[in-house]
């Protein structure tokens, strides 16, 4: 895989590959995306093959600017323009009724399409130079942790020959996937929490955003109970439960907590995470990936607060957790 620098020649090379129907991973402010020409069905097919992703899981279309939304969606509600005005470019995805000619390969056969204008300067330059939309899921194998650096993308697809290049844009500033709001029906619905404050969105819309339970509505990887998972078993629990585990269990546990250990942790490992949700989100995936590569017996994550600010983090941790056998 080619590692491209985020300079004019790197962007030019990426555009050349995309025009040939190839896959190029690129940075966004949320996570790295695996990009393909959104107007080329064959190129889109390559995304599903490279990720090992089921064909009925829709892709987000990344646009160079908000006004190009008209080419992809029909009956665009006023609410969409209002949110786009405030949050684009940025970490918000809008699900709208699709325009007639949008490919079923992108929408997974649904009548809606997910759209977003990313804010990362390298994503912006790429989209401007390419001059058209890019379909891009997160640049990881299906079910795995999203990449937040170019090195993570290399990790994911090193032995995969369908991803030809990755543009290096450094570490993604948000670190968690975009907030997804579905505006295709009467009441707005939150399909995936992200780092945008939902009360601010509700204020802007002048109405409540519904929160469908996981499992309702269309199949979507972000809505599967288990997703974003490391291979090392992961559990989320209280500080007290973690302390008890450490005294009983054999070595090989790593704890991700927001403070220093209160007692001797013996041969276990301890990682201190930030107390602030933005800083925590920025580091989370990189830490999980690093810890996974230590091949330990278990990752124990101290349960963050159950508040709105931590909702996206709690949502990803729940899905990263190893399902409990009933």
Q: State the residues that interact with ligand TXA by CB under 6 A.
A: 28, 30-31, 33, 57-60, 93, 95, 107, 110, 112-114, 116, 118, 136-138, 177-178, 180, 191-192, 218, 220-223
**Which of ligand TXA, Mg ion, none binds 114 (CB below 5-8 Å, type-dependent)?**
ligand TXA
Minimum Å gap between C-beta 69 and ligand TXA is: 14
Complex with Mg ion: residue 138 or 178, whichever CB lies closer? 138
**Residue whose CB is less far from ligand TXA, 27 or 265:** 27
Helix (H) or strand (E) holding 9: helix 8-19
CA-closest candidate to residue 303, choices 237, 229, 233? 237
Distances (CA, A) of 223 to 16, 73, 144, 160, 270: 34, 23, 14, 26, 30
Instruction: Tell the smallest beta-carbon distance from residue 106 to ligand TXA (Å).
Output: 8
Report the sign of the C-alpha dihedral through residues 124, 129, 131, 134, in that order: negative
Distances (CA, A) of 47 to 137, 184, 235, 273, 324: 8, 25, 31, 33, 31
Contact between 28 and Mg ion by CB under 5 A: the answer reads no
For Mg ion, the binding residue among 112, 138, 149, 232 (CB under 5 A) is: 138
Structure token pair of residue 257: 């907590």
Alpha carbon distance 10, 78 (integer Å): 38
95 binds, among ligand TXA, Mg ion, none (CB under 5 to 8 A by kind): ligand TXA
CB 255 to Mg ion: min, Å: 26
Q: Quick one: what does residue 60 bind among Mg ion, ligand TXA, none, with the CB cut-off 5 to 8 Å set by partner type?
A: ligand TXA
Binding segment for Mg ion (CB under 5 A), chosen from 125-133, 136-144, 160-168, 242-250, is: 136-144
Q: Quick check: 125 binds Mg ion (CB under 5 A)?
A: no
Q: Tokens for 103?
A: 């490919």
The residue (of 30 and 138) whose beta carbon lies closer to Mg ion is 138
Q: Do the bridges between strand 269-272 and strand 253-257 make them parallel or antiparallel, or are there none, so unpaired?
A: parallel
Closer to ligand TXA by Cβ: residue 268 or 316 = 316
* C-alpha 303: how far from chain center: 21
If the CB atoms of residues 110 and 138 are measured against Mg ion, the closer one turns out to be 138
From Mg ion, ligand TXA, none, interface partner of 136 (C-beta below 5 to 8 A by class): ligand TXA
Q: How many CB atoms lie within 10 A of CB 110?
A: 20
Cα–Cα dist 268/252, whole Å? 6
Q: What residues pair up with 230 in beta bridges, in sequence order? A: none
* Minimum CB distance to ligand TXA smaller for 137 or for 304: 137
Residues at the site binding Mg ion, with contacts judged by CB under 5 A: 138
């Amino acid at each position: 895989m080619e590692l491209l620098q985020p300079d004019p020649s790197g962007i030019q090379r990426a555009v050349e590959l995309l025009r040939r129907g190839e896959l190029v991973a690129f940075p966004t402010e949320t996570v790295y995306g695996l990009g393909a020409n959104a107007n080329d069905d064959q190129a889109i097919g390559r995304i599903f093959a490279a990720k090992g992703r089921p064909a009925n899981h829709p892709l987000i279309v990344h646009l160079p600017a908000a006004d190009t939304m008209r080419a992809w969606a029909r009956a665009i509600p006023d609410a969409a323009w209002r949110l786009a005005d405030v949050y684009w470019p940025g970490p918000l995805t809008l699900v709208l009724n699709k325009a007639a000619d949008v490919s079923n390969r992108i929408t997974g056969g649904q009548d809606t399409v997910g759209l977003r204008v990313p804010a990362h300067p390298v994503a912006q330059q790429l989209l401007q130079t390419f001059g058209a939309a890019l379909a891009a899921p997160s640049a990881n194998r299906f079910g795995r942790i999203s990449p937040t650096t170019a090195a993570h993308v290399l990790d994911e697809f090193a032995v995969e020959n369908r991803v030809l290049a990755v543009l290096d844009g450094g570490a993604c500033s948000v670190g968690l996937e975009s907030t997804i709001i579905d505006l295709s029906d009467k009441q707005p619905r939150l399909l995936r929490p992200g780092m945008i404050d939902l009360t601010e969105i509700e204020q802007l819309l002048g109405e409540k955003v519904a929160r469908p339970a996981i499992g309702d509505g269309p199949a979507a990887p972000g809505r599967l109970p288990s997703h974003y998972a490391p291979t090392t078993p992961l559990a989320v629990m209280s500080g007290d439960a973690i302390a008890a585990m450490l005294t009983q269990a054999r070595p090989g546990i790593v704890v991700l907590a927001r403070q220093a250990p209160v007692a001797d942790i013996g041969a276990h490992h301890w990682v201190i995470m930030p107390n602030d949700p933005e800083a925590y989100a920025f580091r989370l995936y990189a830490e999980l990936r690093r810890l996974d590569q230590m091949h330990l017996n278990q990752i124990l994550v101290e349960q963050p607060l159950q508040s709105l600010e931590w909702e996206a983090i709690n949502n990803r941790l729940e899905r990263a957790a190893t399902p409990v056998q009933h």
